Chains A and B, each alone.
Chain A
């Protein structure tokens, strides 16, 4: 190409529709005089037209179906969400269990101190609870983190959590005696106790606890 590179640059600018009117004028007048450039310009426009003429082809009919078949399975998160929506009762039940367990455990942690059910006639020595000889305690006794020595009579159940019970020869308990050491037994006891107090509210009220 003998002509200035400028002219070819203007041709490209023209085809990019990004030419100043000044340059366009220069290009136009040059093309009128230079047949070589005219031929060059024509070839370039023809090349573009040929490329543009390639008919617009379409994707195959089953294209979308095949893409959809290749998609990864829906995320578990979404699946779980949907499951929760479809099983509201089970969701509520499992939520209840989670919250229940949480609250029971938190009470377990709070209850690490010595405590005993408040009953008349009970004597407390350090961390040992004594049912004195000849006296009768009416109602249940629950001792936490301490021992109990029974020398008298208990009209009810005795439960010892994280402690031991000593029964004197004269001691007598009309209800059950239970020793609970481990967290899970304690948990089971707590659940039983809670259920009991829900089912028989008056029984729960009777045995007011004191830390």
Chain B
């Protein structure tokens, strides 16, 4: 896998854009998933996942060939998501009750555009609720939790992606898990 990717990268470096198309095919689901779990919004996730690939293409010459490509790519995607989350500090909280209603918060106001109809399963509602809980996590815990439990990466890889010491990653996973435990205990 990595050998194939490296071959494709060399082709891209020589100016072959089509070789990059193959790289996108291989990683699109992972990157899209990462962005979706980070942002909790399908439309924004698509935007940022595409942006991540475009940036990877533009900066492909700065990719060090002895590095793992996925690590580098996830780093670009994660940083884009974190930037986006920091920029749009929500001016209204999703948890806040809508004025004049009782027990009705902003979640119920959002059109459920997060999953395609063909993916509709019995557990759809549960899935959405879990995603909502992930979205509630502070950004620094959310990124480690998503990388660990959704992308199933090792602590070492997460530390490479976020450019943080393994110890810090560990602490953040612990805090994130504590937060999730409190949020999800009544599910």
Contacts and interface: CB of A to CB of B under 8 A. Distances in A.
Interface string B38-59: 0000000010011001100110
B115 A57 contact: yes
B24 A63 contact: yes
Contacts of B183: 47
Contacts of A50: 126, 130, 180, 184, 187
B66 to A, nearest CB: 24
Interface in A132-169: none
Given A53-B130, A54-B130, A59 B149 contact: no
B29 A59 contact: yes
SS class, residues of chain A in contact with chain B: helix
SS class, residues of chain B in contact with chain A: helix
A182 interface: no
B181 interface: yes
B155 A51 contact: no
Interface residues of A, number: 35
Q: How many interface residues does chain B have, given as a range?
A: 35 or more
Interface string B19-46: 0110011001101110011000000001
Interface stretch (A30-38, A65-73, A111-119): A65-73
Interface of B: 14-15, 17, 20-21, 24-25, 28-29, 31-33, 36-37, 46, 49-50, 53-54, 57-58, 115, 119, 121, 123, 126-127, 130-131, 134, 145, 149-150, 155, 170, 173-174, 177-178, 180-181, 183-185, 187
Given A63-B50, A68-B17, 12 more contacts: A46-B184, A46-B185, A47-B180, A47-B185, A57-B115, A63-B32, A64-B25, A64-B28, A67-B24, A68-B20, A68-B21, A81-B15
Interface of A: 12, 15-16, 18, 40, 43-44, 46-48, 50-60, 63-64, 66-68, 70-72, 74-75, 77-78, 81-82
The 10 closest A-B pairs by CB, nearest first: A78-B15, A59-B32, A47-B180, A59-B28, A47-B184, A12-B174, A67-B53, A64-B24, A44-B181, A47-B181
